[in-house]
């Protein structure tokens, strides 16, 4: 059995999950290696399974990346999943399916209703690492940021800033082969009033292991079940990360569903790498 973990040249040495995955595969007698997704010399057909990992440069070349996903057999997650998940407009479908998400407005213009909130977050629907994302207290800044994204041919999304993130952080719940593996607390990375930055890489999240509540488990299960209905159960999720925040009334809200290249926070798990490799092996 041979596995390739697909990464990107600028990020393969920054991905804390990869060494643990390679070690877990070796312990199980599985040949595994890291390959750059855009390396034309790689023969992807030589692998029994290709697992998308730190391909974090796709946001500026999404069409090229999606073309690559169509050319690789036995890719996880699949092309259909990745195509759907790499544009956050998928949140519309989750909301329509009854999944509780953060209130979201799309491509707002000056004068559009954005709710009576103290702060807002504006970001493009195709993004990673909080790039082109900002937390605003001024409505004028919200409208200007959205207009800038739209003028560049991008879709913007505007959401109220969830105040609990500053103290409680986000809860990232990891699932491998459909089964819950572990959860992590991620700290806030958007500072009040700092505006748009391009140098965020998630390393300010200060991850810590966390035990999710029953309500969080229920919402995560609801989000994954809705995804199965939207994409078809045959899509089969090898891995999934459901990111949750806590609303003012204490209920969990989905902020994002990471099915493409999420950090899995394996160094903060107990056996997470082994569980993912076992799920890959079981699939084969």
Average pLDDT, the chain: 94
Q: What confidence category does residue 41 fall into, taking pLDDT thresholds of 50, 70 and 90? A: very high
Q: What is the pLDDT of residue 190?
A: 81
CA dihedral 157, 104, 217, 233 (to 10 degrees): -70
Q: Quick: pLDDT tens for 109-164.
A: 999 999 999 999 999 999 876 788 999 999 999 999 999 999 999 999 999 999 99
* pLDDT at residue 228 tops 90: yes
Tokens 């990992």 identify what position? 53
Average pLDDT over residues 16-22: 98
Pair 56, 261: CB distance under 8 Å = yes
Average pLDDT over residues 30-39: 98
Q: What is the pLDDT of residue 236?
A: 85
DSSP percent split of the chain into helix, strand, coil, nearest 5: 35, 25, 45
* pLDDT at residue 170 tops 60: yes
All residues at 6 or more sequence positions from 190 whose CB lies less than 8 Å from its CB, including other chains: 121, 130, 133, 134, 135, 161
Q: Quick: pLDDT tens for 49-101.
A: 999 999 999 998 999 999 999 999 899 999 999 999 999 999 999 999 999 99
* pLDDT at residue 197 tops 90: no
Pair 99, 223: CB distance under 8 Å = yes
């Amino acid at each position: 059995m041979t596995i390739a973990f697909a990464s990107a040249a600028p990020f393969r040495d920054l991905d804390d999950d990869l060494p643990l995955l390679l070690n877990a595969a070796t312990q199980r007698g599985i040949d595994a290696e890291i390959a750059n997704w855009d390396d034309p010399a790689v023969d992807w057909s030589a692998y029994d399974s290709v697992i998308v990992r730190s391909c974090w440069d796709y946001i500026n070349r999404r069409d090229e990346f999606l073309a690559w996903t169509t050319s690789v057999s036995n890719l996880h997650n699949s092309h259909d999943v990745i195509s759907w998940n790499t544009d956050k407009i998928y949140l519309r479908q989750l909301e329509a399916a009854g999944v509780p998400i953060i209130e979201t407005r799309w491509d707002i213009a000056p004068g559009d209703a954005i709710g009576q909130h103290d702060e807002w977050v504006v970001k493009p629907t195709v993004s990673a690492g909080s790039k082109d994302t900002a937390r605003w207290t001024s409505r004028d800044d919200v409208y200007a940021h959205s207009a800038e994204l739209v003028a560049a041919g991008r879709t913007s999304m505007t959401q109220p800033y969830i105040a609990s993130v500053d103290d409680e952080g986000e809860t990232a719940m990891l699932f491998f082969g459909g089964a819950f593996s572990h959860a992590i607390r991620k700290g806030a990375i958007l500072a009040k009033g700092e505006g748009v930055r391009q140098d965020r890489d998630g390393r300010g999240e200060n991850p810590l292991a966390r035990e999710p509540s029953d309500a969080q488990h229920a919402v995560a299960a609801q989000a994954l079940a809705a995804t199965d209905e939207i994409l078809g159960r045959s899509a089969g999720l090898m891995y999934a990360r459901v990111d949750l925040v806590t609303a003012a009334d204490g209920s969990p809200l989905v902020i994002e569903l990471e099915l493409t290249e999420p950090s899995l926070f394996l160094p903060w798990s107990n056996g997470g790498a082994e569980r993912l490799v076992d799920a890959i092996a079981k699939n084969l």
